């Protein structure tokens, strides 16, 4: 049983129960089996009990209390939005949190750590999760067939390993706190190596030129495969023409309604 996603209260109760079982003479393994905790957790609870009594058994809350994280002030947030609605001056395909922090610092517009910017992106609903493509090749489903028939041949044609592709998409981003559509924004996003997020925002749906700028920035890195979700490029002759002129750039559209369960991302 995996107790990883249990609430802190439940884990504390189970740790107390594990200690009681140990006191009743059960082994660590048996206590772990009965409480659904792992053996190291039971051992840790037992050790805490021996050193500090019952009070030491429940887990203590970790990290900063909710709501006390460093918040970016409004001026800084406005400046971030201004940056996000323009392409980076470098040839990056979008803004990473590191690049945003650097740009703000270079312009003397304020200091914010990449981590603080990541948190801010999450609060603005600008941090989509990457698609889970790892085990698709083995899946017997519509998505698995798509991966085997479209993604794998494209990667092989470009001579790339399965990990050397980029993925991305376009979406409407509405912050969870927004009452209406007033703060609705359109977001182009990419996930690069190890799921690193690159993003660019718009106040209206992106046009062909916006997509082509993105593709050109990616294409400048060499042969490229981009798995993309959220746009209907078949209806756009400009993009089709550009793709014809760039055979080293493979644009692979995610089929509509594909169930590519998003992988969870860290902080």
Partner 1 sequence: MTTLTHLQRLEAESIQIMREVVAETENPVMLYSVGKDSAVMLHLARKAFAPSPPPFPLLHVDTRWKFRAMYEFRDRMAEEAGMDLLVHINPEGIEKDINPFTHGSAIHTDVMKTEGLKQAMDKYGFDAAFGGARRDEEKSRAKERVFSFRTAQHRWDPKNQRPELWKLYNTRKHQRESIRVFPLSNWTELDIWQYIYLQEIPIVPLYYSAERPVVERDGALIMVDDERMPLEPGEVPMMRKVRFRTLGCYPLTGAIESEADTLPDIIQEMLLTRTSERQGRVIDHDSAASMEKKKQEGYF
What kind and span of H or E run contains 170? strand 166-173
Q: Which part of the chain contacts partner 1 (CB under 8 A), choosing from 4-12, 36-44, 75-83, 202-210?
A: 202-210
Q: How far apart are CA 184 and CA 177, in angstroms?
A: 11
Of 124, 143, 206, 226, the one binding partner 1 (CB under 8 A) is 206
User: Considering only 49-57, 117-125, 134-142, 223-231, which stretch makes contact with partner 1 by CB under 8 A?
Assistant: 223-231
Binding residue (CB under 8 A) for partner 1 from 25, 67, 159, 256: 256
Is residue 116 at the binding interface for partner 1, with CB under 8 A as the rule?
no
Closest to 118 measured CA to CA, from 17, 267, 228: 267
Least distance to partner 1, CB of residue 50, Å = 51
Stretch that binds partner 1, among 41-49, 54-62, 100-108, 203-211 (CB under 8 A): 203-211
Binding flag, residue 205, partner 1 (CB under 8 A): yes
Comparing CA positions, the residue from 129, 141, 136 lying closest to residue 152 is: 136
Q: Put the strands of the sheet holding 249-253 in their side by side order.
A: 197-202, 185-191, 166-173, 224-229, 249-253
Q: Residue 110 and residue 103: Cα distance in Å, rounded? A: 10
SS3 254: coil
Decide if residue 235 touches partner 1 (CB under 8 A).
yes
The full DSSP string for 190-205 is: EE-GGG-EEEEEESSP
State in angstroms the smallest separation of the CB of 168 from partner 1.
13
Q: Is 229 in the site for partner 1 (CB under 8 A)?
A: yes
Nearer to partner 1, 66 or 181 (CB): 181
- Measured from the CB atom, the residue of 41 and 187 that comes closer to partner 1 is 187
Q: Tell which one of 122, 172, 196, 263 touches partner 1 (CB under 8 A).
A: 172
In this structure, the strands spanning 185-191 and 249-253 are unpaired
Q: Shortest gap between Cβ of 151 and partner 1 (angstroms)?
A: 18
d(CA 11, CA 4): 9
- Give min distance, CB of 72 to partner 1, in A: 29
* Residue 238 interacting with partner 1 (CB under 8 A): yes
């Amino acid at each position: 049983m995996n107790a990883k996603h249990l609430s802190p209260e439940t884990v504390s109760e189970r740790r107390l129960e594990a200690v009681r079982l140990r006191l009743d003479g059960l082994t660590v393994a048996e206590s772990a089996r009965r409480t659904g905790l792992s053996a190291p957790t039971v051992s840790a609870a037992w050790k805490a009990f021996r050193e500090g009594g019952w009070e030491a058994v429940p887990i203590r809350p970790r990290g900063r209390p909710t709501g006390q994280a460093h918040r970016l002030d409004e001026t800084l947030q406005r400046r971030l939005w201004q940056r996000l609605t323009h392409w980076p001056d470098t040839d990056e395909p979008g803004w990473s949190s590191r690049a945003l922090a650097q740009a703000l610092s270079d312009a003397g517009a304020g200091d914010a750590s990449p981590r603080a910017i990541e948190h801010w992106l999450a609060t603005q609903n600008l941090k989509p999760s990457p698609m889970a493509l790892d085990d698709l090749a083995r899946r017997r489903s519509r998505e698995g067939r798509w991966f085997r028939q479209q993604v794998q041949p494209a990667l092989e044609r470009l001579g790339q390993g399965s990990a050397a592709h980029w993925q991305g998409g376009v979406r409407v981003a509405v912050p969870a706190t927004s009452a209406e559509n007033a703060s609705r924004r359109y977001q182009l996003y990419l996930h690069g190596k190890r799921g690193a997020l690159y993003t660019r925002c718009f106040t209206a749906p992106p046009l062909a030129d916006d997509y082509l700028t993105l593709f050109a920035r990616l294409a400048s890195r060499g042969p490229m495969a981009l798995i993309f979700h959220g746009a209907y490029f078949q209806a756009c002759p400009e993009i089709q023409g550009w793709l014809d002129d760039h055979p080293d750039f493979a644009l692979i559209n995610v089929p509509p309604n594909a169930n590519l369960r998003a992988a969870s991302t860290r902080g």
